[in-house]
Chain A
Amino acid sequence: MADAIMQSREAAAERLKRAPLVTNNRSMSWITNHVASCTEKAAPTWWWIAFTLSSSLALVSVFCIGYLISTGVGVWGLNHPVGWAWDITNFVFWIGIGHAGTLISAILFLTRQKWRTSINRAAEAMTLFAVVCAGIFPAVHVGRIWMVWFLAPVPNSNAIWQNFRSPLLWDVFAVSTYFTVSVLFWYTGLVPDLATLRDRATSKLRKFFYGIAALGWRGGNRQWKHYEMAYLILAGLSTPLVLSVHSVVSFDFATSVIPGWHTTIFPPYFVAGAIFGGFAMVLTIMLPARAIFGLHDLITDDHVDKMCKIILLTGSIVGYAYAMEFFIAWYGGNMYEQYAFINRATGPYWWAYWTMIFCNVVAPQLFWFRFFRRHVLWVFIVCMFVNTGMWFERFVIIVTSLHRDFLPSSWNMFYPTWVDIWTFVGTFGIFLALFLLFIRWLPMICIFEVKAVLPEADPHHGHDGHDREPAAALKEGVH
């Protein structure tokens, strides 16, 4: 009997045993060597090809923007009544992508999710680059970019202040704050690893630059103490920002009077959508990077599995929001609202709406199944769908609401021009070029944090039941 109990306990313990965050019993030095060497070895050929292509694409975007600024906003397909289309769609798309990184770094840090350690660095970098891409659009979409300094609260002789009632101004502050804090947070987290690179540097140049960047980090006890406090504070600062930025972005629409925009559900819906899209983009970037750099031991299938679960959760929230919008439109009894949503689903842009529904609501349902969550190709495919779907979500919200609002006499269609298309496509070039530079020059995985989640890094290892793995505790019969 006792044996049977012991056996079932052992079996249960085996099942419940928490999978190690780093597989194959990799040692600390292996991790350091492996991650740091990515920046130390000569750039492989594929890198040069990828960088040439992506930076060329980036130049296309730069050219389109130059054309736009020199000629006029009319080079895009905008019109009356569609005053915003791809510009703000791209802005919200990119800013949404820029949510996963800080969420992973800050919120998962505060909630002590140790699995974040191997993905947070790259995710954060991706956040920054996405915010850079996002920032381009609101800046260049204006009619007179040479006057955008009016947005800054600079005292001037006209005594004209900004309009603090405008969500667009809130955007300026929200996005710039988010970018600043994200940069600080990311950089703070980089300092110990920069010191590692400095210490490993063999050339004078690397020594010099990493030495400057490492800010004199020596790894002393006091420094670690300060570092951890700083990192915690920044995590605390970043956490509300993750929620606030996209809430503020959603206010651009929610505070307006346009049916389809004027919706109180927007802030949570946008935040969920941003996390959804952000995680999809993290996976889109990380899966190829993991394959290329052989990081399977650090970014394990468990990591992928967990991220897929978050995608499934947030995707479901987004799906719920889509349904709720329709319900409220019906329940609210406002004919303009009702029309706006019927028009989304059945109007001339029905294809965009149903693309969005398929990509964002239907496709992630595969992640209910473990098989799909752990099958790299399926994960990649679903993430590509989500990326597409999230772009279409913003397009649907912006364009279908504007193109048919209150007065049918003003109804019109929006058709993108080649400048619209290439400006957007080019931002992927900017994004990828920056990411490629990042993986060449900075450790894409947080070396010291990953080392800290190794079993041998746990100072209480085997001494106290509290911190023990639940499986181990169960095995020993300690409750």
Chain B
Amino acid sequence: MKRVLPHPVRETRPALWRSLDELSSSPDFAAKLEREFPQGASEWNGGELSRRNFLQLMGGSMALAGIGLTGCRRPEAYLVAFTQGAEWTIPGKFLYYATTMPRRNGAMPLIATTSDGRPTKLEGNPLHPISNGATDTFAQASVLELYDPNRSKTIKVGGVKTDAAALGAKLDEIAASAHGGEGLAFLVEHVDSPTRDRLLGQLREKFPNLLWAEYEPLGTGETTAATAACFGGKVSVIPDFSRADKVLAVDSDFLNASFSGLDQVRGFMARRRVSEPGQAMNRLYVAETHYSSTGGLADHRLRIKPSETGAFLRALGKQVAAMTGNGGLASVVAAFPDSPLSADPEWIAECAKDLAASAGKSVIVVGDQQPAAVQALGLAINTALGAPGRTLRGLRTEAPPAATIGELAAAMQAGRVQNLFILGGNPVYNAPADLRFGDLLSGVPVTVRLGSYEDETSAACQWHVPQAHYLESWGDARSADGTICAVQPMILPLWDGVAEVEILNRLAGKEEPIGPQLVRETFARIAGGGDLEAKWTEFLRQGFLPGTGWPETPLAFNAAAAAALAAQYQPSAGGMEVAFIPSSTLDDGRYANNGWLQETPDFATKITWDNAALISPSTAKELGVATGDMVQLSAGDRAIEAAALIAPGQADGAVSIALGYGRVKVTPVADKAGFNAYPLRTTGEMTHVSNVALKRTGAEYKFAETQTHQSMEGRDLVREATAERYAEEPTFAQTMGMDGHIPPNVSLFTHPPLTSPEQWGMTVDLSTCTGCNACVVACQAENNVPIVGKDQVSRGRNMAWIRMDRYFAGDENDPEMLSQAIMCQHCENAPCETVCPVNATVHSDDGLNLMAYNRCIGTRYCANNCPWKVRRFNFFDYNQRPLDQLYLGPLAKKGMADSLKMSKNPNVTVRMRGVMEKCTYCIQRIEEARITQTVQAGASDKSLVPFPEVKSACQQACPSQSIVFGNIRDPESRVAKLKSEPRNYEMLKYLNVTPRTTYLARIKNPNMAMPGADKVGRANGYGHHGGEAEHASEAHGT
């Protein structure tokens, strides 16, 4: 029904008139008045093409448009082009939708911030039990991938562009010719998606003989095998760290949310956070090869060679079995083949004693990459420690059976595969080298590849189909606890992206239903009866379906099966070993074309745009290798070259190298970044290779490090102490070093009054910060921070507003690692403000150090005078010029890719060259809240409306909730409470700059019976003057 809002017709001549025309009330005048009326008014009178008509027409034509796969579009019901205003949106106001990032280790529930129809920022979905509103590095960066101009854009066959209709026809042809599924094979990534599983079921009905294989370079196949053997059936075993007093992590980076789960990090941190002196806290033992973020937080860390993981657990298991008298464990240990172990037996004995003493409150976690036998041994120890049901939860899971890539390769080798679908992944690049997957592909008559990029696998396949990003396609996925989450598109596919489920659906012979109906059909089966429409709406609104988590199951340990599995363990021979580790920024390489992640420094090595062969200082000395030396690592006939990096904390005799780098001529961002380690990795040696020959090639390589100095130089920047010392001397953090005896500080300047009722401040808890970089990428996404490229990073010009400082303390071979997030400290007496000649950086009355880009002329004096060196200068037009043409000046191409323009946060200025920038405490979020408050106050009869909660982007992303931001003047705020803790300290207090960001000292909980316990928690030393005594022995870097 159309509203008719004509201009009111006057019955009589007006009493008050503005013109003679009005007085006469002529029809001409009425018409004129109408034209004069605001824009669109005539449409209300029933114009030919109103906004509503237009939308109706557009909606209709969209629904009718398209054949084949273009018909397989999600219904555009709620996806409205912004060329016309959509009714429920206010331009410039964000809209928030729930969605989910499908991941191999459980989907990450998200809330997408969209502005004018473009998703620009992702946050965790706080309603979801697993998320708590946090995210991780990969989720934060995934929004850039959506807009990545290098993503593949068109369907191609044999490298020639084609269209969706041709693909549809091809799919139909394959479906028609694959009788019973003989010769039809799929290689997919591991994603727990009910809709995919349902479609797979349909396919299996139609093609009973199809081959469905899953491959993840860093998958959890070994874990599944171990849990199946130990507990029977499909079981997911999830440690509950919130109940654990003692934790031992063996080659497990469970504190990095990217590789575990947000709930695990949160559970652990709940027991790690010490507010009161003397408060009980958990204890973390870590045995690992390279420094992981979990190792950085460890109370006791043991460096072990990758081949010795089994022997280590065996030795530990033996001790635990003796102490607990657990026969099951004893039998598993007995079955587990012995192998040499160089680790300190005292360390293992004391660790075992401590774990056993806390039986029922201790847990050990073994890395997912470890062989099933080793993991079974770990589960046996856990069982002996009484973990099942207490610190270990068992969940009964379901998943359709899937073959391994090895089985697929065997079928291809045998010529049993005629039609191969590679949906996602990049097996040509990352499959085990012994499979020679690329060569096998050429023997398959029809290969169809769905991928985000035209990569190595696309080059080897006939068909390449661009994969739709999860933010532009419909789907569903289970989080680690099994809860079904909705994958909702935020935008129509920017290019011709196709979703995996659409291809499966088409092969199943169904052109319809499409898009959301596919998901909804699955949903209907799970959600059951009742008001399905309401349930569906709620599902999309909330982002997940509560109560669909995997059911809890008791964990009954099957010692015999575990022993049988343990007996299969094949200890690898020694020699120099190379361990394959996930990249903390590129995962297994899937994020290689993501500039934000390429430029995020690894938390331990601080290198960007590269991986490296990590070598311990003493091994490097033995081999005569220095940082930057190119080395050749060869095992048998396989060899790779990589640049060496001396990494304190690395196990001796073992090289660790992150996977996912070393792509050549695939995508521009990933090109020539780092070294490809996959050619060294084979089916039997997925964690590490032994007996590797390492030799220097003589070539040199230059890394782009964001931090070149590794020692704190005896400065009390990161402050830490043991729990014992904290109990004895609660104010240790505030009296450390110079802070114990600085005279009363006086400021020469008068400062503007801090009059606002809101005074913003921040705390960073160093006890719980893992250095995972989620905050760094979140800040980049929120604040339109540009990337600068490897060359500029190596010149010291990276632009990150928040950086993760990492220091090593103690022995250079076996140091402590300390991470500290540094962003603008918003000093009340800011040294940057006094020196700016043009008043471009000033203070606000709510305590923010403001930066007026328009006013900045770029003297860089503020950056020079900043004690924290957090100010970042735009040395070039990083936003406007291609990063490889920065030095061409006006001759370089100008302008940003259109899709990248869409990725920018519209509330944050994109800075030009020549201006200074820095952390703003997310002022755009503060101001948005202030506007909300003002609106609320205006709409209510109250004179005072509480300021809405504001979270900075870094705080919101932090998986361990280490960053807390808020109003320090409100005594009830969390930040104010944290600031009143005795662990709270200011850095560089003697300068009297009174920073608003303060740090909560790191508390360690060493077991004094452990060897080396006297060195734990002493990064600053214990003396009056902090770390000066320790200074001489500190690691001076690489």
A335 interfacial by beta-carbon distance below 8 Å: yes
A contact residues vs B (CB 8 Å cutoff): 67, 70-75, 77-84, 141-145, 147-148, 150-151, 158, 160-163, 165-169, 172, 252, 255-258, 334-336, 339, 402, 404-413
Given contacts A73-B873, A339-B713, contact A151 B863 (CB under 8 A): no
Q: Which residue of B lies closest to A148 (CB)?
A: B857
Number of A-B contacts (CB under 8 A): 192
Name the one of B795, B864, B889, B988 contacting A84, with C-beta atoms under 8 angstroms: B864
Q: Which residue of A lies closest to B713 (CB)?
A: A408
The winner among A147, A166, A402, A409 for most chain B CB atoms within 10 A is: A409
A252–B837 CA distance with the chains assembled, in angstroms: 11
A301–B856 CA distance with the chains assembled, in angstroms: 52
Query: Can you report 27 residue pairs joining A to B where beta carbons are below 8 Å apart?
Result: A72-B913, A73-B858, A73-B875, A74-B792, A74-B875, A75-B887, A80-B863, A83-B860, A84-B861, A84-B864, A143-B873, A143-B916, A144-B912, A144-B915, A163-B836, A163-B838, A165-B834, A166-B835, A252-B861, A258-B864, A335-B1028, A405-B867, A406-B868, A407-B869, A409-B707, A412-B796, A413-B708
B712 interfacial by beta-carbon distance below 8 Å: yes
B890 interfacial by beta-carbon distance below 8 Å: yes
The A interface is mostly helix, strand or loop, or mixed, namely loop
Given contacts A335-B715, A407-B869, A409-B707, contact A162 B838 (CB under 8 A): yes
A73–B738 CA distance with the chains assembled, in angstroms: 38
Beta-carbon contact of A142 and B888 below 8 Å: no
B822 interfacial by beta-carbon distance below 8 Å: yes
The winner among B822, B839, B886 for most chain A CB atoms within 10 A is: B839
Q: Which residue of B lies closest to A151 (CB)?
A: B837
Residues of A contacting B714 in the complex (Cβ-Cβ under 8 angstroms): 335
Q: Which residue of A lies closest to B992 (CB)?
A: A257
Name the one of B797, B837, B867, B873 contacting A257, with C-beta atoms under 8 angstroms: B867
Q: Using A72-B913, A408-B710 as known contacts, list a sample of 4 further A-B pairs with CB atoms less than 8 Å apart, ordered by residue number in A.
A: A75-B887, A143-B873, A163-B833, A165-B749
Beta-carbon contact of B715 and A74 below 8 Å: no
A72–B990 CA distance with the chains assembled, in angstroms: 36
Residues of A contacting B916 in the complex (Cβ-Cβ under 8 angstroms): 143
A42–B1018 CA distance with the chains assembled, in angstroms: 79
Beta-carbon contact of A80 and B859 below 8 Å: no
Beta-carbon contact of B991 and A143 below 8 Å: no
Name the one of A160, A163, A409 contacting B822, with C-beta atoms under 8 angstroms: A409
Of all A-B residue pairs in the complex, the 8 with the closest CB atoms, nearest first, are A143-B858, A143-B914, A71-B889, A74-B875, A79-B796, A83-B860, A409-B805, A410-B869
Name the one of B715, B805, B861 contacting A83, with C-beta atoms under 8 angstroms: B861
B193 interfacial by beta-carbon distance below 8 Å: no
Given contacts A74-B886, A144-B914, contact A160 B839 (CB under 8 A): yes
Beta-carbon contact of A334 and B990 below 8 Å: yes
Instruction: For the complex formed, measure the closest distance between the CB of A144 and the CB atoms of chain B, giving whole angstroms.
Output: 4
Name the one of A142, A402, A409 contacting B858, with C-beta atoms under 8 angstroms: A142
Instruction: For the complex formed, measure the closest distance between the CB of B22 and the CB atoms of chain A, giving whole angstroms.
Output: 40
Query: Which residues of B in the span 907-921 have a Cβ within 8 Å of any Cβ on A?
Result: 912-916
Query: Which residues of B in the span 838-894 have a Cβ within 8 Å of any Cβ on A?
Result: 838-839, 855-861, 863-865, 867-869, 871-877, 886-890
Residues of B contacting A145 in the complex (Cβ-Cβ under 8 angstroms): 857
Query: Which residues of B in the span 403-431 have a Cβ within 8 Å of any Cβ on A?
Result: none
Given contacts A71-B888, A255-B835, contact A83 B857 (CB under 8 A): no
A167–B864 CA distance with the chains assembled, in angstroms: 13
Residues of A contacting B888 in the complex (Cβ-Cβ under 8 angstroms): 71
Beta-carbon contact of B837 and A172 below 8 Å: yes
Instruction: For the complex formed, measure the closest distance between the CB of A29 and the CB atoms of chain B, giving whole angstroms.
Output: 53
Residues of A contacting B638 in the complex (Cβ-Cβ under 8 angstroms): none
Residues of A contacting B871 in the complex (Cβ-Cβ under 8 angstroms): 80
Instruction: For the complex formed, measure the closest distance between the CB of B866 and the CB atoms of chain A, giving whole angstroms.
Output: 8
Given contacts A73-B914, A168-B835, A255-B835, contact A407 B857 (CB under 8 A): no
Name the one of A151, A161, A165, A408 contacting B712, with C-beta atoms under 8 angstroms: A408
Given contacts A166-B861, A408-B709, contact A142 B868 (CB under 8 A): no
Name the one of B715, B864, B915 contacting A408, with C-beta atoms under 8 angstroms: B715
Instruction: For the complex formed, measure the closest distance between the CB of A16 and the CB atoms of chain B, giving whole angstroms.
Output: 53
Beta-carbon contact of B831 and A256 below 8 Å: yes
B243 interfacial by beta-carbon distance below 8 Å: no
Beta-carbon contact of A144 and B858 below 8 Å: yes
A73–B874 CA distance with the chains assembled, in angstroms: 8
A315–B431 CA distance with the chains assembled, in angstroms: 70
Residues of A contacting B711 in the complex (Cβ-Cβ under 8 angstroms): 408
A80–B835 CA distance with the chains assembled, in angstroms: 17
Beta-carbon contact of B822 and A407 below 8 Å: yes
A411–B1037 CA distance with the chains assembled, in angstroms: 12
Beta-carbon contact of A143 and B837 below 8 Å: no
Residues of B contacting A257 in the complex (Cβ-Cβ under 8 angstroms): 831, 865, 867, 991, 993
Name the one of B712, B857, B886 contacting A150, with C-beta atoms under 8 angstroms: B857
Query: Which residues of B in the span 704-753 have a Cβ within 8 Å of any Cβ on A?
Result: 707-715, 717, 737-738, 749
Name the one of B806, B873, B988, B991 contacting A409, with C-beta atoms under 8 angstroms: B806
Beta-carbon contact of A406 and B876 below 8 Å: no
B807 interfacial by beta-carbon distance below 8 Å: yes
Beta-carbon contact of B795 and A166 below 8 Å: no
Q: Which residue of A lies closest to B1036 (CB)?
A: A408
Beta-carbon contact of A80 and B858 below 8 Å: no
Residues of A contacting B889 in the complex (Cβ-Cβ under 8 angstroms): 67, 70-72, 75
Beta-carbon contact of B873 and A408 below 8 Å: no
The winner among B711, B713, B859 for most chain A CB atoms within 10 A is: B859
Beta-carbon contact of B708 and A72 below 8 Å: no
Given contacts A72-B877, A409-B707, contact A143 B887 (CB under 8 A): no
Query: Which residues of B in the span 795-810 have a Cβ within 8 Å of any Cβ on A?
Result: 795-798, 803, 805-807
